[in-house]
Amino acid sequence: MRCCVRYFSKLGNTKQIAEAIAEGAGTDAVSIAEEPSLAQPCDVLFLGGAPYANIMAPELRAYAEALTPEQVGTVVLFTTSNWSRRTVYALRKILRERSIPVADSHFYAHMLHIGGRLDAARAFGRRMAAGGDGA
């Protein structure tokens, strides 16, 4: 099973979580700034970002809107934020409208506790890469 981790991060918090999830899933985390569209199909795509001023980054929205069901089997979402999971909910809606399966579970890390959530992010990546959640 091929797993991919893609993320958008302005402050580095989401990057840290993405790298921990990738470590757990046995792959690399790649910024969508470096890869603006998914280069290769994958069975499980971990996709994440944070809201900025309570709005999803336009780059992350464009990335999600460009995905097709032929590129991904299931998308697993993650976010970092002070309090909002709005990015996860918005991405879930976009992807499901595109007929792309989205896992029921997602990963959230409060932006002030990133370091304390890295082990949990690794475990989440491991569990979800092994098929630990339905879409």
Distance of alpha carbon 43 from alpha carbon 1, whole angstroms = 6
What separation in angstroms does the CA of 62 have from each of 92, 94, 110, 111, 129?
A: 14, 10, 24, 23, 24
- Which homologous superfamily is 3-129 in? Flavodoxin domain (3.40.50.360)
Q: Please indicate, yes or no, whether the overall pTM of this predicted structure exceeds 0.85.
A: yes
Mean pLDDT, rounded, of the chain: 93
Identify the burial level of 5 via C-beta atoms within 10 angstroms of its C-beta, where 0-12 means exposed, 13-18 middle and 19 or more buried: buried
Q: Domain extents for the chain?
A: 3-129
Biggest CA–CA distance in the chain, Å, is 37
Closest CA to 87 of 35, 9, 33: 9
What was the pLDDT predicted at 50? 87
- Per-residue model confidence as pLDDT tens digits over 97-129: 999 999 999 999 998 889 999 999 999 999 999
- Per-residue model confidence as pLDDT tens digits over 62-92: 999 999 999 999 999 999 988 778 889 999 9
